[in-house]
């Protein structure tokens, strides 16, 4: 955790127009040579071996994401991982892990619902100059994808 930086302390110009200041201050990033993936195969979840072997640019756990060093200045990557921080917050750890693992198993990484959401919003961020409330959009999409009984 000593290596974690609040996202609010970074010099990105656009993120503050999409996320509230408290969220950016409480969300953290750690820059690493390789992102830490859980040892799913070692735990008996062999169906996720492709996910483990991915050379991902980032991975998010709760309110902290790990980014490879070369992603340090990539504002879009940070945006994408912040979407995952919101997903963790809105679903809670157990439901997030269940939703993420279920989507990964049924659809593969790129077509899993939580990744589709993050990549789609990242694309809007990259290709539009019109800020929007990311938290509200993610909340609405989470509610539509995972309605509570």
pLDDT 10s digits, 39-65: 666 666 677 767 767 778 999 999 999
User: How remote is the C-alpha of 10 from its chain's centroid?
Assistant: 17
- For 52, other C-beta atoms within 10 Å of its C-beta total 15
Residue 119: band (very low, low, confident or very high) from pLDDT cuts 50, 70, 90? very high
- The two tokens of residue 72 are 């340090």
Shortest CA distance to 141 belongs to which of 85, 75, 90?
90
The number of folded domains in the chain is 1
Domain around 103: 5-145
Q: What pLDDT, on the 0 to 100 scale, is given for residue 41?
A: 67
Percent of the chain with pLDDT strictly greater than 70: 91
Strands 64-68 and 28-32: parallel
**Residue 80 burial class via C-beta count within 10 angstroms: exposed 0-12, middle 13-18, buried 19 and up:** buried
Cα diameter, the chain = 45
Q: What is the mean pLDDT of the segment spanning 84-94?
A: 96
Confidence (pTM): 0.92
């Amino acid at each position: 955790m000593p290596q974690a930086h609040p996202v609010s302390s970074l010099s990105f110009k656009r993120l503050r127009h999409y996320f509230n200041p408290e969220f950016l201050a409480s969300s953290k990033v750690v820059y690493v040579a390789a992102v830490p993936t859980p040892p799913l195969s070692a735990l008996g979840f062999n169906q996720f071996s492709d996910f483990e072997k991915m050379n991902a640019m980032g991975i998010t756990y709760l309110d902290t994401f790990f980014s490879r060093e070369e992603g340090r200045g990539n504002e879009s990557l940070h945006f994408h991982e912040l979407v995952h921080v919101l997903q963790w917050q809105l679903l809670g750890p157990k439901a997030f892990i269940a939703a993420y693992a279920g989507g990964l198993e049924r659809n593969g990484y790129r077509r899993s619902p939580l990744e589709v959401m993050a990549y789609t919003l990242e694309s809007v961020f990259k290709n539009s100059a019109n800020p929007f409330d990311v938290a509200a959009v993610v909340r609405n999409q989470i509610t539509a994808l995972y309605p509570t009984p």
